[in-house]
Amino acid sequence: MPKIKGNLIIGQSGGATAVINSSLAGAVAEALRHEEVGEIYGMLDGVQGLLQEQLIDLRAQVGTPQKLDELKHTPSAALGMCRYKLNDSERERILAILKKYNIRYFLYAGGNDSADTCHRLDLMSREAGYELHAIGIPKTIDNDLPQMDHCPGYGSIARFLAIATQDSGIDSQAAHLVHPIKLIEVMGRNAGWVAASAVLGKRREEDAPHLIYTPERRLDPARFLQDVQEVYKKYGYCVAVIGETVRGPDGKTLGTQAEPYLVDSFGHKYYHGPAHYLMGLIIKELGITARYDKPGTIQRMSMLCASPVDLDEAWEAGAVAARRAIGGETGLMVTLLRGQDENGGYKCEYGVTALENIANTEHKMPVSYINAAGNFVTQDFIDYALPLIGGPIPAYLKLDRAALVKTSL
């Protein structure tokens, strides 16, 4: 019977997703299976809470299969999150806390900033000669972490946007006499993975979305107006999806060319996004009624729209991290890689990479996923992304508007 080697702690960091609690549940489930793990702590609000000794007992709170399943199906970060950069002056403080609670396994779910935090903690403890096994669990809806095929959280925002764009499409077609142009501004930091995912509910050429603009390509407003008008002429309506950081010809995010609508007391400037700017252009230049939707935070943490594939993979990513840490490894982040099942279909495999390979690096969409005109995605992208949302979304009935009744009366 192995001796208890120490306690395990887990934290969540950065913008929450629909499945980050599934990673938490997977890690706890795995930790429960290892006798060398004593307490299983959750840190509230990431390392910022850890610095204040805000620890809760996860073994007591979610240590049963039923509670873990409930946790898996709870969106957003149950432990709370932070955006906090550990600095060297906090080194002694944090090491003292790790020692005080006899923490030997440190798991941290987040994106590249969180990988940086986990990496620093690993270095600090090595330098101090304190044995700590620190492993990162990938998490970001942006899908922009390097060294991996895709990131937990992405499949679920992709499924949300596939459904929301399909819904917006049939609504815009129904309202073509009143509101024919709909823009949808979506998240995605500096990469277009999220915007691109709006295509995943499209079945016919005339279906929404008709246009997709990702931050990888600059958007020329004159060309954009041409694109919209062409689609509108062809189908009588148009749905265009715009990444929230799409840049204009000057390289700046569209919308920031105007004056900020607000400047706060710290001097931070608040600007409208690209969709607001482009909607104004359509109304003024084309004289067509246009609207935009900006789904907001709901897009990244809707449990109703969560991808079942993403939910399961996030769990497994958490479990792998716990297993690796308990097995004695450190300084790594779990990676999700694309394998093949026995029928040549999609299968996720799990690996690791050094945390320093993740921190402060962004993985953008490859050229082959964006069409030549820069206003849509390619079939290669669809083939890549469709398995991540758990296959096609439910289809709706579509009436044949062209089959008009002829009467000889």
Round to whole Å and give the CA distance between 300 and 14.
12
DSSP state letters, 115-145 = HHHHHHHHHHHHHTT---EEEEEE--TT---
Among residues 384, 382, 361, 389, which one has the least CA distance to residue 138? 361
Q: Nearest distance from residue 84's CB to a copy of itself, in Å?
A: 8
Q: Nearest distance from residue 297's CB to a copy of itself, in Å?
A: 5
Give SS3 for 342: coil
Residue nearer to a copy of itself on the CB measure, 162 or 336: 162
Which of 142, 144, 207, 310 is an active site residue?
A: 142
Q: Nearest distance from residue 267's CB to a copy of itself, in Å?
A: 12
Buried/exposed 280-318: b ≥16 CB within 10 Å, e otherwise: ebbeeeeebebbbbebeeebbbbeebbbebbbbbbbbbb
Q: In this structure, are strands 181-186 and 238-243 parallel, antiparallel, or unpaired?
A: parallel
Q: Nearest distance from residue 339's CB to a copy of itself, in Å?
A: 31
Angle at the Cα of 231 from the Cα atoms of 229 and 236, rounded to 5 degrees: 95
Residue nearer to a copy of itself on the CB measure, 195 or 301: 301
Alpha-carbon distances, residue 95 vs 71, 100, 322 (angstroms): 30, 8, 20
Buried/exposed 163-177: b ≥16 CB within 10 Å, e otherwise: bbbbebbeebbeeee
Residue nearer to a copy of itself on the CB measure, 173 or 375: 173
209: which 2 tokens?
């979305």
| Cβ pair 185, 292 in contact under 8 A | yes
Q: Nearest distance from residue 387's CB to a copy of itself, in Å?
A: 21
Residue nearer to a copy of itself on the CB measure, 74 or 229: 74
Torsion of CA 383, 385, 390, 396, to 10 degrees: -80
Residue nearer to a copy of itself on the CB measure, 71 or 321: 71
Q: In this structure, are strands 37-43 and 55-57 parallel, antiparallel, or unpaired?
A: antiparallel
Alpha-carbon distances, residue 283 vs 179, 183, 224, 229 (angstroms): 11, 12, 13, 12
**Of how many residues is the chain composed?**
409
Q: Nearest distance from residue 62's CB to a copy of itself, in Å?
A: 7
Residue nearer to a copy of itself on the CB measure, 130 or 396: 396
Round to whole Å and give the CA distance between 195 and 191.
9
Q: Nearest distance from residue 345's CB to a copy of itself, in Å?
A: 26
Active site residue 250: no
Residue nearer to a copy of itself on the CB measure, 372 or 409: 409
Positions marked active-site:
142
